């Protein structure tokens, strides 16, 4: 298997982006990544997107973006794993370069979520759950994660303050990220007193509805070296699944797919969890960050909350988590999220994180965890500084 | 790059399958393929599907099918390229095995199209075209292919009889295929006098609305040899794109993505077009088969029609095309079609095509061409008998 690297990253504007359509969001991020990498072509294109069909009535996204990038003819495909679609796009680019079939692959993710009503967006997102059982009976994702939060609170005594502390930390990081949808700080009181969505989750526990795209350029080690710029090696890639319905799990307080995908990625990278210096994880709701940190094994069950309250996961803590601001503050254009995580990892490992967001001592190994549904899929990548 | 093989294939029932849902269609085909291959596990799963979101309100198909196959935990992803989604699923499995990341990969395709109204199905299929220009202005796929047919007739004098001859041939082949949706013969007169859909295309020029799934087991040459059964090598894989909107092409009478994808697949296989003994091609409408044969280069422009009338592409002809019955007679469950083409190639190359459908002299090299939209994407695989 060939070694695989990332050599450039790019973003579109994120937020309620009225002047862009799905295709132009993707193109803007992709062009930025291509410029950043300094490559003059790509051999293949992946598009991570959850559901262009339900959000904007457009499938067949591979040729669509190739066309609007001025790259008619170039191979292109759309990959989906709900909110882990972006991570899966990076995964497929990784496999294509590793196989030797292509040298330079564009992996981008995109979602245009604000062109439909809020009800339609909630319904579109719910197609990541089990349509025949969960959705048929009225489940939505805030409801599913609220049940997980209730279970976690019941078993481990997790407090309202723990959830709020995740939001406060991630909004602080997001306030330093020029691409973030919510570039402002929030206080513990603001989070704890914000509007209730699904008990115990309040609106400031939830990631946003976001338009946005992110892109990375994936290539072989030989090409990466030849470009003469800082690059990042993708040393591990791991995917795992679980039951699609939350009700069919034996435990609501952990996310087995996160653990399994991390184990697979670490095994490929020949690394251990203790080697990881920072991580981007899938904080679609505040409780998700807590459960993921415990499921991955960064903390024992019940220990991630106290660690968060103690500042261990802050930007200047022992193990910075979501230096980008996470889904919580950066926004969550579903298909873009997993690619944006890898782009943040690239920035941190090459010393390019903007506005005081750079982790001290420039880390050399990071982890990105992207998740679909209530944990039915996880995609993990291990990133290491190139030199 | 490692050599990649196919070692088993399977189908669900095809047609209006009221007793199956999307997930159970996939599971039935996958279990049949696993049994056929004689493998005891798979390392990874791909699902080719155009739009579970619009047809049945279900995305996140990777973990869904892993779950219902009893394979929770196994990596799984959904890939989409409109009507070429199935070919793209085979492509991603090919890349994953070629990379060395996995040894045994399940590539299946599925579509459940009859659970919504005909209008909703037409609208869902139209998301493979350009939503902002073509669909907004009322274009549907019968309309787009009718324009291509009119252009072909105008330029080359292609006759009504040519279109009818494609349907007659493919229905004959389909009448010999136990999985086909339409297992009956049609006459030239029946096709030419059938209900007009979009001039000049009549209902018997069009592929059906079909529920169905197909699956293949993709693995390394070492594993294929170890199983001690006939296998097929995937010696070439090629993908190409084109403008998503038909209006943005310089020519309506050819399909450049088909030509480019075939060239790429042949180059990888180190073969020439003259080596190919039979092909499955994407006859979503009768005119498509004619245009594809000419675009690929099997025939010069204007020559595929006369060749079809002369019987050259019949099962007992010089170059059998769509021995399975094609999309026309076998049915076209969109995401399943590309996988079914490869499964037919496997059967022909291992001498297992049922009911008198086996091509004489057991061919050793075949080609599968799967297409999305009005030709915005093409996925091609070259298959060769294992020994």
**What are the distances in angstroms from CA B138 to CA B79, B90, B142?**
27, 33, 11
Query: What are the residue ranges of CATH 3.40.47.10 in chain A?
Result: 4-117+210-226, 128-206+235-385
The tens digit of pLDDT for each residue in B51-90 reads 999 999 999 999 999 999 999 999 999 999 999 999 999 9
Calculate the average pLDDT of chain B: 97
Average pLDDT value for residue range A299-315: 98
Report the CATH fold assignment for B121-206+235-385.
Peroxisomal Thiolase; Chain A, domain 1 (3.40.47)
Nearest to A131 among B44, B57, B376 (CB): B57
pLDDT at B207 over 90: yes
Give the β-pairing of B44-48 and B278-280: unpaired
> Would you state the pLDDT for residue A191?
98
pLDDT at residue A198, rounded to an integer: 97
Sign of CA dihedral B153, B156, B157, B159: negative
What is the predicted pLDDT for the residue at A221? 98
Residue B87 C-alpha, separation from nearest chain A C-alpha, in angstroms: 11
Q: Which of B116, B114, B142, B128 is nearest to B82 (CA)?
A: B128
H runs (alpha helix) in A44-139: 52-56, 61-68, 85-99, 118-126
Which of A21, A61, A92 is opposite residue B132, by nearest beta carbon?
Answer: A21
Q: Determine how β-strand B104-111 pairs with β-strand A232-241.
A: unpaired
| Residue B146: pLDDT band with limits 50, 70, 90 | very high
- How confident is the model at residue A85, as a pLDDT? 98
CATH of B4-117+210-226, one of 2.40.10.340, 3.40.250.10, 3.40.47.10, 1.20.1250.20: 3.40.47.10
A257 Cβ under 8 Å from any chain B Cβ: yes
In angstroms, rounded to a whole number, what is the distance separating the alpha carbons of residues A277 and B188?
70
pLDDT at residue B387 greater than cutoff 80: no
* Residue range B149-155: mean pLDDT, rounded: 98
Beta strands, E only, A128-277: 196-198, 201-202, 212-220, 232-241
pLDDT confidence of residue A355: 86
pTM listed for this prediction: 0.98
Q: Is B122 near chain A, with CB under 8 Å?
A: no
pLDDT digits (tens, 9 = 90+) for A31-42: 999 999 999 999
Active site residue B332: yes
Flag whether the ipTM exceeds 0.90.
yes
CB-count burial class (<10 Å; 0-12, 13-18, 19+) for A364: middle
Strands A212-220 vs A4-11: parallel, antiparallel or unpaired: antiparallel
Model confidence over B13-65: pLDDT tens digits? 999 999 999 999 999 999 999 999 999 999 999 999 999 999 999 999 999 99
**For chain B, how far is it from start to end, CA to CA, in angstroms?**
20
Tens-place pLDDT, residues A248-280: 999 999 999 999 999 999 999 999 999 999 999
Tell whether B100 lies on the interface with A, counting CB pairs under 8 A. yes
Instruction: Tell me: pLDDT of B121 over 80.
Output: yes
List the one residue out of A330, A384, A380 whose CA is nearest residue A81.
A380
Provide the pLDDT for residue A104: 98
Decide if pLDDT at B355 tops 90.
no
Q: Smallest Cβ distance to B59: which of A57, A62, A127?
A: A127
Beta carbons within 8 Å of B241's beta carbon, 6+ residues apart: A62, A63, A66, A67, A71, A72, A73, A74, A75, A76, B257, B376, B377, B378
CATH assignment of A128-206+235-385, given 3.40.190.10, 3.40.50.300, 3.40.47.10, 3.30.70.240?
A: 3.40.47.10
Q: How confident is the model at residue B289 (pLDDT cuts 50, 70, 90)?
A: very high
The predicted structure's pLDDT at residue B372: 98
Residues of B whose CB is below 8 A from A376: 60, 63-64, 67
Of A21, A72, A377, the CB nearest to B60: A377
The boundaries of every CATH 3.40.47.10 domain in chain B are 4-117+210-226, 121-206+235-385
DSSP letters, B97-157, are: HHHTS-SEEEEEEEE--TTS-HHHHHHHHHTTS-IIIIITTT--HHHHHHHHHHHHHHHH-
* B63·A1 Cβ contact <8 A: no
Residue B360 to residues B104, B159, B246: CA-CA distances in angstroms? 31, 30, 38
Indicate whether A387 pLDDT > 80.
Answer: no
Q: Kindly determine whether residue B377 and residue A76, on different chains, have CB atoms separated by under 8 Å.
A: yes
What pLDDT score does A238 carry? 98
**CA-based nearest residue to A297, from A307, A309, A311, A310:** A307
Q: What is the arithmetic mean of pLDDT over A101-114?
A: 98
Q: What is the pLDDT of residue B190?
A: 98
pLDDT at residue number A35: 98
Q: Which residues contact B70 (CB under 8 A, 6 or more apart)?
A: none
Residue A231 has pLDDT above 80, yes or no: yes
Question: How many contacts, defined by CB atoms under 8 Å, are there between A and B?
Answer: 219
Partners of B11 in the beta sheet?
A: B214
Which residue stretches of A271-384 are H helix?
Answer: 286-296, 304-309, 326-330, 334-349
For testing the chain B interface, which of A42, A58, A60 should be mutated: the one with the most B CBs within 10 Å? A60
Report whether pLDDT(A223) > 80. Answer: yes
């Amino acid at each position: 298997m060939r070694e695989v690297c990332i050599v450039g990253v790019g973003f579109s504007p994120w937020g309620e982006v009225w002047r862009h359509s799905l295709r132009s969001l993707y193109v803007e991020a992709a062009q930025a990544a291509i410029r950043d990498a300094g490559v003059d072509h790509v051999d293949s294109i992946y598009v991570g997107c959850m559901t262009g069909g339900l959000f904007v009535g457009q499938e067949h996204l591979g040729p669509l973006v190739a066309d609007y990038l001025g790259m008619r003819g170039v191979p292109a495909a759309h990959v989906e794993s709900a909110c882990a679609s972006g991570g899966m796009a990076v995964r497929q680019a990784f496999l294509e370069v590793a196989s030797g079939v292509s040298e330079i692959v564009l992996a981008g993710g995109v979602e245009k979520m604000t062109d439909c009503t809020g009800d339609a967006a909630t319904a579109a997102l719910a197609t990541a759950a089990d349509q025949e059982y969960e959705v048929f009976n009225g489940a939505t994702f805030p409801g599913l994660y609220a049940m997980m939060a209730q279970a976690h609170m019941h078993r481990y005594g997790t407090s309202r303050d723990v959830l709020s502390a995740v939001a406060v930390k991630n909004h602080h990081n997001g306030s330093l990220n020029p691409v973030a949808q919510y570039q402002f700080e929030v206080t513990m009181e603001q989070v704890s007193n914000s509007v209730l969505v699904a008990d115990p989750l309040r609106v400031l526990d939830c990631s946003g509805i976001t338009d946005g795209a992110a892109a990375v350029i994936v290539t072989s080690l030989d090409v990466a070296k030849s470009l003469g710029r800082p690059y990042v090696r993708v040393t591990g890639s791991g995917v795992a699944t679980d039951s699609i319905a939350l009700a069919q799990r034996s435990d609501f307080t952990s996310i087995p797919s996160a653990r399994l995908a991390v184990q697979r990625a670490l095994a490929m990278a020949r690394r251990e969890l203790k080697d990881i210096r920072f991580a981007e994880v899938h904080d679609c709701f505040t409780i998700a960050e807590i459960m993921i940190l415990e499921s991955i094994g960064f903390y024992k069950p019940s220990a991630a909350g106290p660690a968060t309250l103690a500042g261990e996961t802050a930007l200047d803590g022992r193990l910075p988590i979501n230096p980008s601001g996470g889904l919580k503050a950066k926004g969550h254009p579903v298909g873009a999220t997993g690619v944006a995580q890898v782009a943040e990892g690239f920035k941190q490992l090459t010393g390019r994180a903007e506005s005081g967001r750079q982790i001290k001592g420039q880390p050399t190994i990071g982890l990105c965890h992207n998740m679909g549904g209530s944990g039915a899929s996880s995609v993990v990548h291990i990133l290491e500084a190139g030199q």
